[in-house]
Amino acid sequence: MSPISRAANVVSIGHAFLREDRMSELQEICDARRAAACILKLPPSYWLWENAETRLQRFQLDWQKKQPCPLTIDSGREEPSASVRKDFNWVADPFWVPTRQYSRSKVWRIHGWHEVRWVRRYSESQLLKLATAIRKWKPEFVILVHSQRVPQIEELQALLHHS
């Protein structure tokens, strides 16, 4: 595990494949990930991964297993964990989605936030409330879906109100 990943308390996979000219971008992403991990108090057994072949930019944090496991995406296909090959932007937009695919699981679905902007945009107190909501629901999986869209503060407040 890299020092950056260890400091973030998150096992990161694939960032070594970045080209040298993107190292400053990687540092910025890792700094944001470390800040988010500290705020959300992510346990070290969380895994972060994506399917690089299809570039769907979908990720999974799984704190029940020691190895990355297949992730069922919206279409119902399973993405092989062996396809983890490239760097990622950690993104978040919280939605509680009980779906048929996860009829035996609680799933905390997160999509739509670019992490660097997410960490900069929202206050620590708001992120702590979000972390409390996630822990209260005790989901079995957290899915992160890539998007460049950054939600308005009202959307975050609405989520926290419902939690």
Q: Which amino acid is at 122?
A: Y
Q: Is residue 67 within a helix (H) or strand (E), and if so which, with residue range?
A: none
Beta partners for residue 85, in sequence order: none
pLDDT digits (tens, 9 = 90+) for 96-154: 233 333 333 333 444 333 444 444 555 556 656 656 655 565 544 444 433 344 445 55
Q: What pTM was computed for the model? A: 0.31
Q: Where are the domains of the chain?
A: 3-162
Each as own residue / partner, the long-range contacts of residues 16-22 (CB below 8 Å, 24 or more positions apart, any chain) are: 17/85, 17/86, 17/87, 18/87, 22/87
∠ Cα 4 139 120 (to 5°): 45
